Amino acid sequence: MRFSGFRVFKEALTGHHGWKPLWRNPAPQPGYDYVIVGGGGHGLATAYYLATTFRQARIAVLERGWLGQGNIGRNTTIIRSNYLLPGNEPFYEFSMKLWEGLEQAFNFNAMVSQRGILNLIHSDGQRDAYRRRGNAMLLAGADAELLDRDAVRAMYPWLNFDNARFPIKGGLLQRRAGTARHDGVAWGYARGADAAGVDLIQNCEVTGFRIENGKIRGLETSRGYIGAKTVGVAVAGMSGKVMALAGMRLPIESHVLQAFVSEGLKPVLDGVITFGAGHFYVSQSDKGGLVFGGDIDGYNSYAQRGNLPVIEDVAEGGMALMPAIGRARLLRAWGGIMDMSMDGSPIIDRTPVEGLFLNAGWCYGGFKATPASGYCFAHLLATGGPHETATAYRLDRFARGAVIDEKGMGAQPNLH
């Protein structure tokens, strides 16, 4: 079924009896050519591009719960391509371009909204760093504008410009950045993959890998053994645990990241603002809630909830930047499990086991990467080689010392 304005109009006139489920609910087959482990954004996007762009068949996605139960449905929905390093910026700009055509490509409303992102500047050193980053973005074909204090004040007059510790001196603006509805992204990719013949198998937990003579043969799952010629693992916060089943130890730690939403308010914030110096960021949802967050909880955890000290820290960041937020009531708080890599950059690579591939290390920035991650992982699985924008995301870079340390702050997850 194709979605369109005409379809909505027709269904409204005929009692809405014509809508169909967005995807089938098939039983697992004995074997597939490609099995993707993890029905989050990256797993679903990989299956979608494998089946559509790369014209592969006999593909399944195995999800231990329901599609979208993980970080894809828990993030703060920010999409952007404002990176500095050559290993990162072309990849994230490729993702931004895919976002721009995504809804038309998979015929689903993912509420992609290019409302702009503003990174605030509080010191001369930060201005130099953002000027450099903006130039790197322009060189990679992205958009970037350096704003002075007056230009920021014209956009958001209610910010605390004269905070003694963090006076606002300007900002780096990417107008093409913004937000997208995270569930809509998961549902759109799932529907598109299903329509292209992919089996989306829910409540199917991978519990082991069958590896013979260094080659993948299939997967043990809670729904029985499933044979596979090629396996792509995209399980985000569970990467360490799942790859341990294949005998691998990853350069990844799992940490909780929390997010918050206020009660619905009248429109006050039409873009996304980040306050890197105090680590707080905020946007306003279409329902009116202020959606905000800050640092990861600084300990290893597989719980999808966080603790009070970080809530206090995030609230302090919010109060320093926009004191009016103190008048808003908090509606909800939640957490997701981050696969924090040691340099803050991802991994899209083959593993020492033939036919077994890994997509991981997205930290707290993997939502914006969803389209490019899926595309590049599908490219790797289908062709055996990396996509041109993802050549740096090698697993062995940690052993070689070729890290992609975007913030240049060293090998500790809480610094990225």
Ligand X SMILES: Cc1cc2nc3c(=O)[nH]c(=O)nc-3n(C[C@H](O)[C@H](O)[C@H](O)COP(=O)(O)OP(=O)(O)OC[C@H]3O[C@@H](n4cnc5c(N)ncnc54)[C@H](O)[C@@H]3O)c2cc1C
Measured at the CA of 283, the angle between CA 279 and CA 285, to 5 degrees, comes to 145
Stretch that binds ligand X, among 74-82, 148-156, 312-320, 390-398 (CB under 6 A): 74-82
- For position 71 contacting ligand X by CB under 6 A, the verdict is yes
| Of positions 23, 92, 189, 367, contacts ligand X by CB under 6 A | 367
Contact call for residues 176 and 103 (beta carbons, < 8 A): no
- For position 34 contacting ligand X by CB under 6 A, the verdict is no
List Cβ neighbours of 349 (8 Å cut-off, separation of 6 or more).
357, 358, 380, 386, 393, 394, 395, 396
Q: How far is the CB of 198 from ligand X (least distance, A)?
A: 15
List the interface residues with ligand X, window 242-281 (CB under 6 A): 242, 257-259
Which pair of tokens denotes residue 393? 């995301």
Q: How far is the CB of 66 from ligand X (least distance, A)?
A: 8
Contact call for residues 355 and 229 (beta carbons, < 8 A): yes
List the interface residues with ligand X, window 196-225 (CB under 6 A): 205-206
Which pair of tokens denotes residue 359? 């997509």
Phi, psi of 191 (to 5 degrees): -65, -40
List the interface residues with ligand X, window 108-147 (CB under 6 A): none
- For position 318 contacting ligand X by CB under 6 A, the verdict is no
Query: How many CB atoms neighbour CB 286 within 10 A?
Result: 11
* Closer by beta carbon to ligand X, 150 or else 361: 361
The residue among 115, 117, 111, 108 whose CA lies nearest residue 45 is: 108
- For position 62 contacting ligand X by CB under 6 A, the verdict is yes
| Of positions 28, 32, 34, 37, contacts ligand X by CB under 6 A | 37
Q: How far is the CB of 317 from ligand X (least distance, A)?
A: 15
| Of positions 64, 176, 255, 394, contacts ligand X by CB under 6 A | 64
- For position 381 contacting ligand X by CB under 6 A, the verdict is no
Stretch that binds ligand X, among 38-46, 139-147, 263-271, 325-333 (CB under 6 A): 38-46
| Of positions 36, 172, 216, 236, contacts ligand X by CB under 6 A | 236
Q: What Cα–Cα distance (Å) separates residue 198 from each residue in 33, 58, 219?
A: 11, 7, 17
| Of positions 28, 38, 355, 413, contacts ligand X by CB under 6 A | 38
* Closer by beta carbon to ligand X, 38 or else 192: 38
| Of positions 293, 294, 344, 355, contacts ligand X by CB under 6 A | 293
- Half-sphere exposure of residue 98: CA atoms within 13 angstroms, side-chain side: 25
The residue among 304, 413, 384 whose CA lies nearest residue 40 is: 304
Question: What crossing angle do the helices spanning 124-139 and 89-106 adopt, rounded to 10°?
Answer: 60
| Residues lying near ligand X in the complex (CB under 6 A) | 37-43, 62-65, 69-72, 74-78, 205-206, 234-238, 242, 257-259, 293, 336, 362, 364-368
